[in-house]
Every structure is written in structure tokens, then in C-alpha cells.
Structure 1
Amino acid sequence: MSARATEQVSARIAAVVIPFFLLAPAIWNGYPLLQWDTGGYLARWYEGYLVPSRSTVFGLYLHIGEGSGFWFNLLLQALATLWIIWLTLRALGLAQPFRVAAISLLLILTTALPWLASMLLTDIFAGLSVLALFLLILHGDKLLPTEKGGLFVFTAFAAASHSATLGVLTGLCVLALLAWPWLRTRMGLPALAFGASALVTGAAMLLAANYALSGQLAWTPGGYGVAFGRMMQDGIVARYLNDHCGQEQLKLCPYRNGLPATADEFLWGHSMFNTLGRFEGMEGEMGYIVTHSLKAYPLWQAEAALAATAQQLLAVATGEGANGWIPHTYGIIERYIPAELKAMRAAHQQHWDIDFPAINRLHVPVALASMLALLALLAHALSWHRLDDVTLLAATVSFALLGNAAICGVISGPHDRYGARMVWIATFTVLIALSRYFWNDPDDLEHDPEKCEAVFRKDHAQTIT
């Protein structure tokens, strides 16, 4: 068999084996993995009204897969993951089947990636959308028109699936625009505009879905409520109430000395939030307290925001909210999709058989080490004034991690789930850098001008000798 034929066979095997391993947690579980928030997305099709922080676009996506027991959704997620990993490696000149398989399997073994791909949640699209936007803006000339179109649709969908994802991608576009004077030889304004237009399309997609399901041309609600919960957890809300309840008539004033300790307990537990009408009854007051406390305590707010961002960067454990106690999601499935009850109840997850603490003995150190290695990679590139494709990917991923930590930590408060869904792309970037360093390949040279120049100098010196 020729080398080309062998490579084609290897590629076909990888195209089957890698998605299988990506879905290994769900296959072992006997059912797609569920999370505390899954039920809120599933209910969007049936309830016909908007719920804070629950995208109708993602709800429609889940509804499409109900007839397959949601395995259709997982298959799409696994194939999209392999596709974007392969496109990224191809753009960097590293798309040999064995290398794609090796890097993919290392990600599957050491990061949250297979758990994200196996779960009915928006999180798998967060990291993938960063890679997709990177390809659209910096490597669009290496993509086929159908690939660019597919990445455009994928990025738009990811942006519509979660506001934090849209925020991270928007921040990356703004940074790219600011860096354009120094990157104009690597990044054209049309490519940047094309990537940004995917985010605009995603926003339009969300508004259209909200209108179609609820009759309201409105953004998904809940922003003030989530921010309020974080400020309450930091003690800012109690301080504001104590300072102003003598002059202002606020619904929370009678409860100011008995506020819950955490945002999750306030918003999703049995607290006075339920008594006062939840989001519908409290949205106005929560927005008022959020905006006025920003003016009243700017230094405290800044310190709390920095602390929350730092804590979020370190919160990277796999599996938050995916244990056996997720009553809301179970209740939604029982109420609206009773045909799924038998399979769902038989799954390992519902019997508390998933040992996430044991899994995180590996995942957390790998995640933290990957972020440190990412910083070392950037520091080395800066010291050598190196601006190759891997450096640009490392910078993109670093800013994405920082932006994700700032948006999620400051608005929602630090949660492991927000870090785990994004940090695997740091490990991916480090594996790419290690592959470039330890596994030289002639095909790499066209993607690395400095390596090409080094090889030329070496060959030239040998010729003279």
C-alpha cells in the first residue's frame, strides 16, 4: 500500500475512532449526560416564554434531537469537535492523521473535552467557537468556501447559545481590530469583518428564536439578576441595603439581615427571591441596586471584580452541576418528554456512579499547568520577537481565557463549570506547540517562516563546509 493510501485509511479510521472516544462518557453512561441547567433549555420549546440565561436557540437545537434520545445532538457535537480540531491543525500545517489522532486522544484523556461533548449543554461550543473565530479571521485564506460557510454558521450558533460566549467572541474581535495595525500582514480587515458578522448573525438568530417562541422581540433576560447574585455574595448588596433602606422603599429591605450566603442559594434555592416574585417580580429592583451600587462603591466593586476574575481563572474542575442531584432537569423531562424517563433513570449518572473528584485529580493539574505553559509560550515568543501561527493561537486562547474569567467571574461569580468549558483549548495549544517542537515535518516549514530560515541557514552552512 502506498504512503498516500495508508494516510487515507488512517484518516478514515481516525474519523470514526475519535468521535467514539469523544462520546465515551455518554456511551458508558447509557444516556447523554445531563446538567443542572439542561432542563431550562429543554423546556423552552414547550413553555413558550423567556427564562433568564436560557437560550431559545439552544433549546430548539435540543428539541431537534429528542426523537433520537438526544444522541443526534451528541453526534453533531462530537463531529463538530473533530472537524474544528482538524481544521485548526491543518491551518497550522499539522494535519497528518497520526498527529491529529495523537493530539485528540491526549485531549480526551487529560481534559474535560469528552465530558463536554457528551453533555446536553452549551459548554462544548464555548471553546470550539474561539478556535472557529481564530480560523475565520486569521486563516480564512486556507479554508474552502464550504468550510468558511460552515465555520460562520457554527460561530453564529455558538454566539446565540450563551451570552458569555458571545461576550468572549466580541472581545476577541475588538482586540483583533485594535491589533490590526501590527497584524495587517497576517489579518485583513475583510476577514475580521467576516468573523464579526458571524456574531451579529448569532445575535439576530437569538432575537428571531425568542420572537418565534415567545412573541417577544427581546434579548434573553436575566443579566441584572445574575450580576445581583454575585454582588450579594460579595456582601455589596447587604451594605447597599443597610445604607439606603432608611431613604428608599425597596422590597428587600425587610430581608437585609437575612440574605443567603451564596448567589446560587438566593436565585435557585428556597429564599426570599421566590417570595418576592423571582425574576419577574424582582428584575427592576435588582437592576436598580446593581447600577446604583456601582456608583456608590466603585473601589469595592473593582476589587471584587478583580478577585472574582482571579478566582475564576483557577476554577477549572470538570463536572460541576452534573452529579446525580439535578431535580429540575429530571422534572422537565418527566413533564414534557416522558418517553425518555426509563433510559434516563437507568443511566449511571442518575445512580451517582460518576466520580468527578477522582477525574479532577488529573484534569485540574493538567488545566493549571496548561495555562502556565501558555504564558511561558507567549513570554518566549515575545523575548524572541516571534509572531508565528502558534504564537497567534496562544495569544487568542490567552485572551479568551481571561475574557471568559472576567465575564463569568464578575457577572455570575466564579464556577468550575465556566473554567472547564474553556481551558481545554489551552491544553490543545500547548500540545500543538510541543508537537511542532518535538516532531519536525517538512510540511511545517511553509507555516513557520523562522523555522524555514533556520533550516536554510543550516543547509547553507553545510554546503560551504
Structure 2
Amino acid sequence: MKYLNVIFIILIATVVLLLPALYNGYPYIYSDTGTYIYSGFEGKVPIDRPLTYGLFVRHSSLASSLWFTVFAQALLASSLIWLMIDAIFKSVRCKTRVYIISIVMLSLFSSLTWFTTFIMADHFSALAYLLLFLLMYIPVRNKIIFLASSLTYLFFTSMHLTNAPGHLFILIVLVICKLLIPAFKHFFSWNQIRIGYFVVLLNFVFTPTIHWLFSGEFVTTKAGHLFITARNVENGSLKAYLDDNCENKAYRLCNYKDSLPQAGSDFLWKSESPLYRLGGWEKNAEEYKAINTNILLTPKYLQLFFSYYCQTILYQLILHKVGCEFIPFGKETPPGWEIANHFKEEENAFLAARQCQGKLDAPFNILNMVYLIFGILSFIIIIYLLITGKSRPLSSAFAFCTLLYYFGNMLVVSIASAGSRYNTRIEWLLLFSAILIITETASYRNKTAKAG
């Protein structure tokens, strides 16, 4: 009966997380959604991203409805939130109470529900982190369960190229803290850190292996150099480098050095960009790589790169926006084509959705302000309780690792992108951490007071 109650409450939470999609009339989509659907159904590795989220869309949708996909995403999120709470609290009543508080607050005051109902890989950045923490800090004696959990973690993490480096950042800082800060010597065990390194480093083999199985090429991505080139377009280092070197080096890109776009996204996606005039994404890779290497090894150009990188970090820190990607996508767009090809029976529902009709009336300006306020409050609460030592070990460890992941993610994504959604996709973890650290501390104090 106890397990049936848990299943029931998780299913209720799953429905709550789906409310934005129900309001829209269809899951939220983006231009990249078309790539994910195509790659998953055709089994073709995209040049600019991993295949795994496409496979998830293909199989979670049962090749019939994207509603099944967002239901799966909501179920995974509600289940992992429960598992995290279950690991911290012993009383079933306490677990249930904290779970309800968490779901309600995360639904009202964070970005969780929007990314849950978004057909994009971003949702799994937070879920992969939760799984990593559970693998590290919750002992699993059953080897089969540990193996299954590890494979699930690897699959989740592989869905976006920024996930594994962000997780590696957490572990590097944990080692430094354990070696240099006495207070951390008993906070994290070396065995926990070893488990973390084991599963995180496997990511750098797992994704290429999946790609090798489908394409015969053992690569994580074939377009990483182009995202760096686009960054160099945006920060001005590419123009400066070409101005200084085109007289002596016969780069094909020299023919377009005076017509480079200002935005890196325009370089990557606009058909009139030099990238496409020179043959597209699969051409001139060695030239782009050589230019990028020279820029990063030359102080004059590296200064431009680093200065803009710091500006992007600040941008990621202060600008959290949900809704920017929810622009109308009609029938003659990449997601429209793929929905027509693979979800034909849903095409009318897709076209009738508020997003597609341009009638999405959600007050995103107000919502984003609310999310920012609660994010800042969560950050302050976490820092205060960690510094004063008034929090309990497990929730403190989770909150500390969440802060590391938040900043690590920001450092990683700022190398190649300035999109506001990249930190927004995980900001709900800050609020969740604050809820856990407050409730575990309060629960412990109540028990201590009663015992006294």
C-alpha cells in the first residue's frame, strides 16, 4: 500500500509538471526539435549535437505522439525529485510533505515545468546531475541496480555536450576542497569522489560509442570547431586574426573577412553566411581548427576571446529568461516538416497550439522576474546555511554540489554560446536545494528539541 501511495503521488506530480503543455495545447517546440525528431527516427548522427536525445524522442513517443515524450520527461523529473527526498528523510509523512512542497514551489517559482514540456535536450541537464549525486552519495549495494543507474546517467548526460564537462568541474573542485579545506575532509569521502569520476569520465567514451554504432565514426561531435569559430566571429578575434594574417596565409575565409556577421548565430545558421558560401558545415574543418588554435595561442587574440568570455559569464549569471524560444513555428519550418513526416495525426494539434498561433499569452516578463527573485533568495539561503554550519550533511552536500554545477555549467556553455536558456534550464535546482537544506535542518531541530 505504501508503494502504491508513492506511485500515486508521483503521478499527480507528473500531471502538475505537464500544465504548461496543457495550457499551450501541445508540447513546446523549437527549431532544434526538428533535428532531434529527424535524427531519432532516421538513426542519423547530427553534425552539431549528440544523437541520444533524438533516440529518446523516437522511443519515448512510441513513434505516435510527442505527448508521450513530455509525459516521460515529467515522470522522470517527478521520480528523481522523489528519490532525492527519499534519500534525505526517513519518515514517510515527512517525505510526502517535503515532496508536495517541492513540486508546488518548483512549479510556481522556477523554470522546471517549462523545460519539462519542451521537446529539447535541455531538460536532462538537471536530471543527469540529480542522478550523478544519487550515484555518488547514496550507497547502492546491488550491482545490477548500480549498473542500470550508471547507464541511465550516461544516457541522460550524453544528450547535451555541455553536461559532462559541467559534472567534471564539480569533481575537480571537490578534490581541491577536500585537499585544502579541513572542513571538507569529512564532508565527502574519497570513495564517493572515485565513483563520481568513474561514471563522469565514462561519458567521454559513451557518446562516441553510441555514434560509432549508428554512423561508424567514433566522435562526440564533428562541429565543435565551428561553434568556437562562431564565438571568435562574435568576440572580434577572428576578424583581427584575418586582418593580420591574410596577406601571408591563403585561408579561404580571407575572401569574407570584411563581410563577417556580427553575431555568431548568424555565422552558423544564416544561408548567406561565409560558412555556407564556403561549402557548409562539413567543409574546411582543418582551416577552421588551425585558425582557432592560432587565436587561442596568441595573446593578442586570446585577450579578445577571454574578455568576451567573461562578459558572457556575467550575462549567464544575471539573465535568466524562459519563453524566448517559444516563438511561432508553422507548417513550413524544420519542426513542422518533421511533425508532418513522423507525427502526421498530430499535425493539426501542433498547428492549433497557442505557440504556433502566436497566442501564447503567458506573462513571461513577470514569471522571469519571479524566477530570478527566488533564484537569488535560494542562493543566499544556501550560502548562509553552509557558511554558518547550521545545515545537515546530506542536504548541505547536495546544495554545495548544486552551486558548483550552476557555476560549472555557466563556465562551460560560455565558451561557445550566450543563450540565456543554458543556465535557466538548471536554475530550478537552486530552489530545490534551498527547500531540502531548510526542511532537513528544520526536521533535525524538531527531533532534537523533542528528544531534549
TM-score tier, shorter chain, comes to: 0.7 to 0.9
Q: Over residues 318-366 of structure 1, what are the superposed CA-to-partner deviations in whole Å (9 max), with x where a residue is unaligned?
A: 133232137222233334554442332222221122245x134123442
Mapped contact 2:30–2:325 kept (Cα < 8 A): yes
- 1:219 maps to a residue whose letter is T
Determine the C-alpha separation between the residues in 2 that align with 1:315 and 1:157: 29
Aligned to 1:431: 435
Q: Does 1:389 align with 2:394?
A: yes
Q: Over residues 353-401 of structure 1, what are the superposed CA-to-partner deviations in whole Å (9 max), with x where a residue is unaligned?
A: 2245x13412344235424542453245224486733322221111111
Q: Does 1:32 align with 2:27?
A: yes
Q: Does 1:215 align with 2:220?
A: no
Cα offset, 1:157, TM superposition: 1.1
Mapped contact 1:371–1:427 kept (Cα < 8 A): no
Aligned to 1:293: 295
Rate the CA distance shift 1:360–1:19 in 2: closer, same or farther, 3 A: farther
Aligned to 2:84: 88
- 1:61 maps to a residue whose letter is F
Mapped contact 1:159–1:203 kept (Cα < 8 A): no
Q: How does 1:123-272 map to 2 (within 5 A)?
A: 123-140=122-139, 148-149=146-147, 151-181=149-179, 183-270=184-271, 271-272=273-274
Cα offset, 1:220, TM superposition: 1.9
Determine the C-alpha separation between the residues in 1 that align with 2:151 and 2:373: 32
Rate the CA distance shift 1:144–1:350 in 2: closer, same or farther, 3 A: farther
Mapped contact 1:31–1:344 kept (Cα < 8 A): yes
Aligned to 1:370: 375
Determine the C-alpha separation between the residues in 1 that align with 2:148 and 2:358: 38
Determine the C-alpha separation between the residues in 2 that align with 1:101 and 1:393: 19
- 1:257 maps to a residue whose letter is D
Aligned to 1:112: 111
Q: How does 1:251-400 map to 2 (within 5 A)?
A: 251-270=252-271, 271-296=273-298, 297-325=301-329, 327-355=333-361, 358-371=363-376, 373-384=378-389, 388-400=393-405
Rate the CA distance shift 1:250–1:49 in 2: closer, same or farther, 3 A: farther
Aligned to 2:99: 100
Determine the C-alpha separation between the residues in 1 that align with 2:381 and 2:121: 30
Rate the CA distance shift 1:70–1:205 in 2: closer, same or farther, 3 A: farther
Aligned mate of 2:407, from 397, 402, 409: 402
Cα offset, 1:114, TM superposition: 0.9
Q: Does 1:53 align with 2:35?
A: no
Determine the C-alpha separation between the residues in 2 that align with 1:27 and 1:385: 41
Taking structure 1 as the reference length, the TM-score comes to 0.86
Determine the C-alpha separation between the residues in 2 that align with 1:245 and 1:309: 31
Paired residue secondary structure (2:415): helix
Cα offset, 1:146, TM superposition: 7.0
Bigger Cα displacement from structure 2, 173-182 vs 266-275: 173-182
Cα offset, 1:48, TM superposition: 5.1
Mapped contact 1:333–1:341 kept (Cα < 8 A): yes
Q: Does 1:72 align with 2:68?
A: yes
Rate the CA distance shift 1:416–1:81 in 2: closer, same or farther, 3 A: same
Determine the C-alpha separation between the residues in 2 that align with 1:229 and 1:140: 44
Rate the CA distance shift 1:209–1:275 in 2: closer, same or farther, 3 A: same
- 2:261 maps to a residue whose letter is P
Determine the C-alpha separation between the residues in 1 that align with 2:143 and 2:45: 36
Q: Over residues 415-461 of structure 1, what are the superposed CA-to-partner deviations in whole Å (9 max), with x where a residue is unaligned?
A: 11102111110111122234346xx43xx46xxxxx87x749x93xx
Cα offset, 1:164, TM superposition: 0.2
Mapped contact 1:50–1:221 kept (Cα < 8 A): no
Bigger Cα displacement from structure 2, 420-429 vs 274-283: 274-283
Cα offset, 1:163, TM superposition: 1.0
Q: What residue ranges of structure 2 are gaps of 5+ in the alignment?
A: none
Cα offset, 1:262, TM superposition: 0.8
Determine the C-alpha separation between the residues in 2 that align with 1:409 and 1:193: 28
Rate the CA distance shift 1:292–1:275 in 2: closer, same or farther, 3 A: same
Aligned length: 440
Rate the CA distance shift 1:284–1:341 in 2: closer, same or farther, 3 A: farther
- 2:305 maps to a residue whose letter is Q
- 2:16 maps to a residue whose letter is F
Rate the CA distance shift 1:146–1:33 in 2: closer, same or farther, 3 A: farther
Determine the C-alpha separation between the residues in 1 that align with 2:216 and 2:311: 40
Rate the CA distance shift 1:240–1:38 in 2: closer, same or farther, 3 A: same
Q: Does 1:422 align with 2:426?
A: yes
Determine the C-alpha separation between the residues in 2 that align with 1:310 and 1:62: 33
Cα offset, 1:186, TM superposition: 4.2
Determine the C-alpha separation between the residues in 2 that align with 1:381 and 1:392: 9
Q: Over residues 295-333 of structure 1, what are the superposed CA-to-partner deviations in whole Å (9 max), with x where a residue is unaligned?
A: 222333222222211111223211332321372222333
Q: Over residues 116-171 of structure 1, what are the superposed CA-to-partner deviations in whole Å (9 max), with x where a residue is unaligned?
A: 11121111111122222122212336x87776455423321122111101111122
- 2:156 maps to a residue whose letter is A
Aligned to 1:15: 10
Mapped contact 2:231–2:415 kept (Cα < 8 A): yes
- 1:123 maps to a residue whose letter is D
Mapped contact 1:310–1:405 kept (Cα < 8 A): no
Paired residue secondary structure (1:67): coil
Taking structure 2 as the reference length, the TM-score comes to 0.88
Bigger Cα displacement from structure 2, 269-278 vs 10-19: 10-19
Determine the C-alpha separation between the residues in 2 that align with 1:228 and 1:284: 12
Rate the CA distance shift 1:146–1:68 in 2: closer, same or farther, 3 A: farther
Determine the C-alpha separation between the residues in 2 that align with 1:117 and 1:145: 30
